[in-house]
């Protein structure tokens, strides 16, 4: 149909713009003159001017109307939540029964989920984990905050002062905090009751689970994380007693936690480490590490207050757990501060004397001291600090001569620290091996690598070095180290293989450090793990650590790789092992026994890709430089193999 406009078209208006079909098709300006039956462009080219398309006028903006509608919906939602909260039944304030030690731990933890779900539930606040960003790169500055700093402003997430917490009897002696630590009101969740209610200790309002689970995952997820922590981590690294920790998690879900930062931080340590373990599993997702970083940030919000607390077993455990979370993150360097602090605080415990009482005069004399667990926690702190001192070329925080406590048993009654085969009854105590290796590392640091050894004669240092290497060789004769990487892969679970990989990395770092000390003309100030020294060592023709380096890389090839906790922990020994193997191949191309096979070269390429992933995630110039050194050596070896 033709269009007969009443006047000249007004361009730019959504309600008045009109154009014929020909102009629309050719995308040209459609101009109409008054009193004509076709547009000017169609008249010029003698085309039919038809208009079959009718443009609908634009609707007016509904923005203001929608804002009012949203406000009404929010008010209705608030009213509905208030009605539901008022109608919610309250849980009776009864202390939960203690754990029955006759029940197997797996059964006890498995029934915990159903038990928690049976209690009344009030919806707690929802936390948007996607809005959280961890800032560990500024941790060094954050730990030096002034004393008047309000830690609640450190993070943009909700703070635990919104809880309504009572103080029922906690069945766990480990989680009883010292009296003067509780006097720090800036570290306490604020009570919602008024002063008159606080003075009447006999009358307290019953609590629902939401009164203290504002930062807890759902019960199904919480019990699953607890189980994974106890089985996959705490079995080899006995940081906590399993049954008391299961009771503590139950108290947190039922409202029985005392609400102190140290109690909640211990809970977040368990959940955070469990998420780190999930990130290394076969069903890992990127959200696992994000969840672990989320719980780590919750702990760091109150870390300044924890450091002001009196030394106690729970505080040392919390600091060590925080150090493990940091060490397995993309910013692992600050973990050494937490480890050394925990080790110094552990000196106030009674682990060195089986008949000693606690050094804390205010502690209840009737309270039983868990000497055995204190001893285990001390050894965890000691071997972690010793391994870090080997890598960082620093002194150890605790001398060997001050350790008079017994070493961990190879076969304790509760099997603490033992890793069991997936099939059969074979087991090995990883915890005991770590402790024995730590004593050798401490001996190497004190007798060979310390700065004071400069004043000692070379003959004395040579004897000390020989003694350390002989001790390492004797330690290496354990049956665990006689198995190949394929045998370990078939024998152990994935999580247990990671503990063996950490142990191998710690041993190789120690041997490499001592052997490099001899190659560098007994220069204790030179750090052989730095890129410059590694490049210098790669020019040497003899590499006494070749066998140990190949074993470490072979075990890593059957273990999980990527942006996961274990790779962040062992990246420095892995780089040194790669340089050792590749440099030996360059200097001895005819050595068929020491040259890597085609399969091994392919695995070394995967390891280099893993290091590239870590360097890109961290954006660390030193890590990138070390990887480039490995890449150059790898390219030379690959080129020589192709040429041959």
Residue 393 Ramachandran class (φ > 0 left, ψ -120 to 50 alpha, else beta): left
Give me the residues of the chain with pLDDT under 50, please: 1-15, 90-95, 120-213, 357-366
Number of H helices, E strands in the chain: 24, 2
Helix (H, G, I), strand (E, B) or coil at 490: helix
Domain boundaries, the chain: 109-118+154-197+206-355, 446-643
Kindly report each contact of residues 606-615 with a partner whose C-beta sits within 8 Å and lies 24 or more positions away, as own/partner.
606/557, 606/561, 607/553, 607/556, 607/557, 607/561, 607/574, 607/578, 608/578, 608/634, 610/561, 610/562, 610/567, 611/571, 611/574, 611/575, 613/562, 613/563, 614/330, 614/563, 614/567, 614/568, 614/571
Backbone φ and ψ of 206, nearest 5°:
-60, 155
Q: Quick one: which of 464, 557, 548 has its CA closest to 511? A: 548
- Token readout for 32 is 């109409």
What's the pLDDT at 585? 92
What's the pLDDT at 71? 84
CB-CB contact of 632 with 640 (8 Å)? no
Q: What is the pLDDT of residues 314-359, one digit of tens each?
A: 999 999 999 999 999 999 989 999 999 999 988 888 666 555 544 4
CA 64 to chain centre: 46
In a 13 Å sphere around the CA of 341, the CA atoms on its Cβ side amount to: 23
Whose tokens are 């078939």? That residue is 490
What's the pLDDT at 478? 95
CA 557 to chain centre: 22
Cβ burial, residue 38 (10 Å; 0-12/13-18/19+): buried
- CA–CA distance, 461 with 345 (Å, rounded to integer): 32
- CA–CA distance, 580 with 539 (Å, rounded to integer): 10
Q: What is the pLDDT of residues 370-397, one digit of tens each?
A: 889 999 999 999 999 999 999 998 888 8
What's the pLDDT at 59? 62
Global pTM?
Answer: 0.70
CB-CB contact of 383 with 432 (8 Å)? no
Q: What is the pLDDT of residues 21-46, one digit of tens each?
A: 889 888 888 998 888 888 999 988 88
The DSSP letter of residue 593 is T
What's the pLDDT at 380? 96
Buried b (16+ CB within 10 A) or exposed e, 223-255: bbbbbbbbbbbbbbbbbbbbbbbbbbbbbbbbb
- CA–CA distance, 263 with 266 (Å, rounded to integer): 5
Give the max Cα distance, the chain: 115
CB-CB contact of 165 with 191 (8 Å)? yes
């Amino acid at each position: 149909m033709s269009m007969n406009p009443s006047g000249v078209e007004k361009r730019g208006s959504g309600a008045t713009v009109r154009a014929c079909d020909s102009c629309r098709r050719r995308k040209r300006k459609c101009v109409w003159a008054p009193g004509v039956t076709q547009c000017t462009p169609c008249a010029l080219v003698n085309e039919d001017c038809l208009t079959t398309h009718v443009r609908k006028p634009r609707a007016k903006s509904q923005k203001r109307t929608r804002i009012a509608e949203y406000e009404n919906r929010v008010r209705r939602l608030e009213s509905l939540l208030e009605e539901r909260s008022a109608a919610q039944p309250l849980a009776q304030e009864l202390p939960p029964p203690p754990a029955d030690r006759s029940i197997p731990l797996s059964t006890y933890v498995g029934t915990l989920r159903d038990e928690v779900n049976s209690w009344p539930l009030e919806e707690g606040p929802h936390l948007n984990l996607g809005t959280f960003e961890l800032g560990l790169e500024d941790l060094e500055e954050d730990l030096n905050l002034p004393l008047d700093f309000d830690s609640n402003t450190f993070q943009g997430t909700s703070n635990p002062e919104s809880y309504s917490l009572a103080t029922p009897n906690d069945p766990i002696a480990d989680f009883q905090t010292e009296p003067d630590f509780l006097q720090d009101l800036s570290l306490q969740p604020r009570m919602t009751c008024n002063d008159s209610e606080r003075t009447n200790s006999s009358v307290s309002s019953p609590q629902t689970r939401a009164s203290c689970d504002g930062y807890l995952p759902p019960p199904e997820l919480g019990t699953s994380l607890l189980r994974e922590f106890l089985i996959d981590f705490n079995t080899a690294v006995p940081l906590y007693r399993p049954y008391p920790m299961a009771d503590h998690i139950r108290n947190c879900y039922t409202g029985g936690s005392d609400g102190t930062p140290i109690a909640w931080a211990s809970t977040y340590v368990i959940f955070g480490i469990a998420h780190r373990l999930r990130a290394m599993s076969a069903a890992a997702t990127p959200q696992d590490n994000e969840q672990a970083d989320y719980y780590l940030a919750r702990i760091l919000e109150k870390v300044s207050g924890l450091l002001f607390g009196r030394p106690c077993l729970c505080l040392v455990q919390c600091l060590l757990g925080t150090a493990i979370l940091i060490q397995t993150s993309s910013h692992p360097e600050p973990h050494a501060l937490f480890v050394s602090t925990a080790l110094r605080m552990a000196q106030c415990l009674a682990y060195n004397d089986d008949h000693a009482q606690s050094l804390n005069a205010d502690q209840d004399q009737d309270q039983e001291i868990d000497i055995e667990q204190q001893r285990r926690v001390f050894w965890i702190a000691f071997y972690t600090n010793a391994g870090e001192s080997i890598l960082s070329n620093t002194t150890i925080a605790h001398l060997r001569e001050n350790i008079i406590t017994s070493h961990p048993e190879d076969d304790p009654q509760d099997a603490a620290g033992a890793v069991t085969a997936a099939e059969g009854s074979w087991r090995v105590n990883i915890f005991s091996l770590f402790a024995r290796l730590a004593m050798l590392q401490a001996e190497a640091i004190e007798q060979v690598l310390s700065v004071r050894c400069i004043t000692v004669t070379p003959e004395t240092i040579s004897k000390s070095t020989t003694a350390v290497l002989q001790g390492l060789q004797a330690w290496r004769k354990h049956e665990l180290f006689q198995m190949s990487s394929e045998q370990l892969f078939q024998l152990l679970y994935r999580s247990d293989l990671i503990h063996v990989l950490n142990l191998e990395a710690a041993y190789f770092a120690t041997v490499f450090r001592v052997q490099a000390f001899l190659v560098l003309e007994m220069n204790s100030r030179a750090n052989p793990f730095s890129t410059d020294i590694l490049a210098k060592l790669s020019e040497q023709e003899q590499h006494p650590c070749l066998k140990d380096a190949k074993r470490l890389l072979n075990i890593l090839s059957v273990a999980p790789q990527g942006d996961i906790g274990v790779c962040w922990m062992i990246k420095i020994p892995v780089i040194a092992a790669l340089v050792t193997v590749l440099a030996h191949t360059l200097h001895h191309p005819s050595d068929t026994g020491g040259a890597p096979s085609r399969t091994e070269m392919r695995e070394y390429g995967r390891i280099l890709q893993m290091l590239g992933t870590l360097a890109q995630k961290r954006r660390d110039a030193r890590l990138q430089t070390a990887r480039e050194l490995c890449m150059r050596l790898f390219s030379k070896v690959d080129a020589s193999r192709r040429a041959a």
